């Protein structure tokens, strides 16, 4: 059974992420964990309040969140609940990243799915700070759904990779299961100015090929000055329904997340982005 964690702030984009998740795993036995973390909201509203007022705000937000989660469950089970799916709801007085990480560890979560934008985000920003923090620190693959994205089966998946670091089998198997179910093409593209792979790269490439056995797999080496430019050029020429990247030490994704904000670096994507973590669990 797949275990899917969906943080929600009850925004439109959060509801879109929920709907995407339910569609993506509609034929898979899955347990969905819906979580709302409200500590940051309490401290923001109550920053100039007394301790008594802060407790009142905390209790009110907790009650409202529980009701909103119950309404979310009612919505997704109307008119007929999916018999393949089970659901849990949880309201926690923690930061979003801490609450997600704790539940990932406790329940051995396979995938976190969330919107790219929260309720208070600017329209000019593609990725909210919460989404970027989850990309950085949560020890689990994260799938971010863009605002206003209409669900499409992920038939064409772009997976930029340089084969420099060994992959985690569990991470690739998640991708392989999704691609296998939808009979998807997975395009492993190495954006480089070099013609040949090293022995290490060849070994890692063979591991990826063996693990992604259920997908229609394509390997390409394409000339590009940088990864962002290569991704942009590739997407202009090919249909892409999902972008997959790996966050690991000394990787392009780590550089993107830590050295600057995602938006300043130019990774503005209008398709779902899956960030896989190259760490042991």
Q: What is the pLDDT of residues 13-24, one digit of tens each?
A: 999 999 999 999
The residue among 227 and 239 whose pLDDT is bigger is: 239
- In a shared domain, residues 12 and 136: yes
Residue 265 has pLDDT above 50, yes or no: no
- In a shared domain, residues 230 and 119: no
Residue 131 has pLDDT above 70, yes or no: yes
CB 138 within 8 A of CB 112: yes
Given pLDDT bands bounded at 50, 70 and 90, which one contains residue 122? Answer: low
- In a shared domain, residues 197 and 65: no
What pLDDT score was predicted for residue 227?
82
The residue among 79 and 155 whose pLDDT is bigger is: 155
Averaged pLDDT of the chain: 88
pLDDT in tens, 28-64: 999 999 999 999 999 888 787 787 888 899 999 999 9
35 bridge partner residues: 7, 90
What pLDDT score was predicted for residue 241?
96
CB 103 within 8 A of CB 4: no
Residue 210 has pLDDT above 90, yes or no: yes
Q: Residue 278 falls within a domain, yes or no?
A: no
- In a shared domain, residues 37 and 122: yes
Contacts for 131 with CB less than 8 Å, ≥ 6 apart: 114, 115, 116, 117, 118, 144
The residue from 122, 145, 168 where one domain ends is 145
pLDDT in tens, 243-254: 998 886 555 665
Looking at 50-64, 119-133, 163-177, 235-249, which range is the least confident one? 119-133
What is the pLDDT averaged over residues 59-80? Answer: 95
Say what percent of the chain tops pLDDT 70: 88
Sheet bearing 273-277, strands edge to edge: 85-92, 30-37, 2-7, 111-115, 142-145, 273-277, 242-247, 156-160, 185-191, 216-222
The residue from 145, 167, 198 where one domain ends is 145
Residue 130 has pLDDT above 90, yes or no: no
What is the pLDDT averaged over residues 175-186? Answer: 97
- In a shared domain, residues 15 and 93: yes
Q: Residue 246 falls within a domain, yes or no?
A: yes
Q: Residue 151 falls within a domain, yes or no?
A: no
What pLDDT score was predicted for residue 263?
47
Q: How many domains does the chain have?
A: 2
What pLDDT score was predicted for residue 259?
53
What is the pLDDT averaged over residues 152-170? Answer: 93
Domain that holds residue 256: 156-272
The residue among 48 and 271 whose pLDDT is bigger is: 271
- In a shared domain, residues 82 and 135: yes
Residue 103 has pLDDT above 90, yes or no: yes
Q: Residue 279 falls within a domain, yes or no?
A: no
N- to C-terminal Cα separation, the chain: 18
Given pLDDT bands bounded at 50, 70 and 90, which one contains residue 117? Answer: confident
What pLDDT score was predicted for residue 194?
83
- In a shared domain, residues 164 and 204: yes
What pLDDT score was predicted for residue 124?
47
């Amino acid at each position: 059974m797949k275990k899917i964690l969906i943080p929600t702030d009850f925004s439109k984009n959060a509801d879109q992420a929920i709907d995407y998740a339910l569609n993506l795993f509609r034929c898979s036995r899955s347990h969905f964990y819906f979580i709302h973390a409200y500590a940051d909201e309490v401290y923001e509203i109550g920053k100039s309040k007394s301790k008594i007022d802060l407790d009142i705000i905390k209790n009110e937000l907790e009650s409202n969140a529980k009701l909103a989660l119950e309404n979310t469950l009612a919505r997704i089970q109307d008119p007929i609940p999916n018999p393949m799916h089970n659901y849990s709801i949880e309201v926690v007085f923690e930061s979003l990243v801490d609450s997600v990480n704790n539940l990932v560890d406790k329940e051995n979560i396979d995938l976190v799915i969330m919107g790219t934008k929260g309720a208070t985000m600017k329209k000019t920003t593609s990725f909210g700070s919460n989404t970027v923090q989850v990309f950085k620190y949560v020890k689990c693959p994260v799938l971010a759904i863009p605002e206003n994205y209409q669900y499409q089966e992920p038939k064409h998946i772009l997976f930029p990779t340089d084969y420099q670091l060994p992959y985690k089998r569990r991470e690739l198997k998640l991708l392989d299961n999704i691609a296998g179910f939808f009979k998807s093409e997975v395009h492993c593209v190495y954006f480089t100015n070099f013609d040949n792979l090293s022995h290490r790269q060849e070994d890692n490439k063979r591991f990826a090929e063996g693990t992604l056995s259920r997908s229609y797999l394509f390997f390409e080496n394409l000339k590009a000055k940088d990864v962002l430019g290569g991704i942009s050029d590739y997407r202009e020429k090919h249909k892409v329904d999902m972008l997959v990247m790996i966050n690991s030490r000394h990787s392009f994704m780590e550089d993107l997340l830590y050295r600057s904000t995602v938006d300043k670096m130019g990774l503005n994507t209008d398709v779902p982005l899956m960030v896989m973590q190259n760490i042991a669990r």
